[in-house]
Structure 1
Amino acid sequence: MDKRHLYEMDNATPGSRKRYIRSMFDSITVSYDRVNRVLSLGIDTRWRKSLVRAAGPLKDRQALDICCGSGAVSALLHREGARAAGLDFSRNMLKKGLEKGRLPGGAAAADACAMPFGDAVFDAAFIAFGIRNIPDLAPFMDEALRVLKPGGKLAILELSRPQNKIAAFFHSLYLEKIVPRIGGMISGKKSAYDYLAGTIATFIDPKTLQKMLEEKKFANCRVFPQTLGATFVLVCEKTKEDE
């Protein structure tokens, strides 16, 4: 795997890394959803549904879909009766989501670390397969805390690494050999899938992410592993003391 594309938590040069990531997602917009279906063997839709369910009832609630991409989660939120807004810094992804009608509540082309929303606006915020692409997690967590109402929930869906040794072996092999090859064949952008596979292999584990959120004063954090630990949902909430 090309080491240049490996994920690093980066507070020193987040600007340049963000520009690279934005350009990469802009370049794979057309094939992104199709590649996700193929690489996940069609399970990614079920994972997103579990993310939405984890936040509880959403009817008539204000929801934010962070790193919304082409709007797969936003569409699910809308079906649950939420008033959902999207946010992503890839304009190509947002354009695709709007064209497909997946972003009925609109979307903002903006950085997840500098959200263009007021304080305490949302009842729930969601981020699916996006947090590992944010190089500076502390400002993101601060922003998520800021835009949530007291008692509001942050729900995270992310890819991870199985703990079982046998599952971990085959998972690593899949990331290193299959993901870049198939992703590259479909999208024509193998380097993008080298990078994305690298972020999965090197991103912090769910418990470490939970600890970081708790240090930011998120409460009632719970982690739900899925598919032998290949993904997880993490749910936490903003306490009233952080109003």
Structure 2
Amino acid sequence: MSSSAGVTSSAGARAEIATVDEHGARVQAMFSDIAPGYDRANRIMSAGVDVRWRRKAVDGLLRGARPEVDPRTGAEATILDLCAGTLDSTLTIHRRFPQAQLIGGDFSAGMLATGEARVAKLGGPAASARIRPVQMDAHALPLEDASLDAIFCAFGARNLSDLERASAEQLRCLRPGANLVVLEFLQPTAWVTRAFHAVYNHTVLPVVGWACTGNLDAYLYLP
């Protein structure tokens, strides 16, 4: 199935794609392993706040879009959800812009497989028709120049091996004036908050992640 961005997706089982370095390969394998319990872990660890974060971040994706795009429904827009994982954010984008063509891009076969099932279950035929899961490396996007009306990336930037290279790829694929929206954690500046985050990230987070996915090492890495 081809999209207006010049990318092809196929249904069925996927093999892992090549990564730019060994770090990327390790992260790829880690995410494929934790995919089945990943969303449940996120909901518990954030007490559901991550859902509100995504909705708020997604809301302005098409602000200032080209005249052909309907900024209310997303009609005529092509949007990439980069580092899409289980397509959680992709579904959020679909609900906000139901007529946009969405590409859910991630390098983890396991995450995308879990995401496809999730889209079919929670979004139904309408979402499945609009969302195209595509395996891709953020450092070498299989997309045409100036083919995207927006890019969204939630909690994925920290896992990139070469942020500068990945950023250049995103800029290459965006149309002039299109938006790049990144949702990511920042280090707190106040020492009390910073201390709380450090304790939480190295105690509660790994335990909850391990309980939901069975992989403790992944959640020792993720903070």
SS of structure 2 residue aligned to 1:166: helix
SS of structure 2 residue aligned to 1:159: coil
User: After the TM superposition, which residues 128-143 of structure 1 pair with which residues of structure 2 at under 5 Å, given as runs?
Assistant: 128-143=154-169
Give TM-score scaled by structure 1 length.
0.73
User: After the TM superposition, which residues 55-134 of structure 1 pair with which residues of structure 2 at under 5 Å, given as runs?
Assistant: 55=61, 56=63, 57=71, 59-60=74-75, 61-79=77-95, 80-81=97-98, 82-101=100-119, 104=128, 105-134=131-160
Percent identical: 36
* Alpha-carbon distance in structure 2 between the residues aligned to 1:187 and 1:78: 27
Contact residue 86 and residue 112 of structure 2 kept, 8 A: yes
SS of structure 1 residue aligned to 2:81: strand
SS of structure 2 residue aligned to 1:114: coil
Letter in 2 for 1:85: I
* Alpha-carbon distance in structure 2 between the residues aligned to 1:111 and 1:15: 11
Match of 2:5 in 1: none
Letter in 2 for 1:87: G
Structure 1 residue runs of 4 or more that deviate by more than 3 Å after TM superposition:
none
Letter in 1 for 2:105: L
SS of structure 2 residue aligned to 1:100: helix
Letter in 1 for 2:209: G
Structure 2 stretches lacking a partner, 5+ long = 1-18, 64-70
Is 1:37 matched with 2:47? no
Match of 1:49 in 2: 55
Number of aligned residue pairs: 185
Moved more, 166-175 or 125-134: 166-175
The structural deviation recorded for 1:53 is 1.3
Letter in 1 for 2:39: D
- Point out the structure with the larger strand share: 1
The structural deviation recorded for 1:185 is 2.1
Letter in 1 for 2:181: A
SS of structure 2 residue aligned to 1:125: strand
Structure 1 stretches lacking a partner, 5+ long = 1-12, 198-243
Which of these residues, 16, 26, 32, is aligned with residue 32 of structure 2?
A: 26
The structural deviation recorded for 1:14 is 5.0
* Alpha-carbon distance in structure 2 between the residues aligned to 1:54 and 1:154: 10
* Alpha-carbon distance in structure 2 between the residues aligned to 1:70 and 1:137: 22
Contact residue 20 and residue 139 of structure 2 kept, 8 A: no
TM-align CA RMSD: 1.5
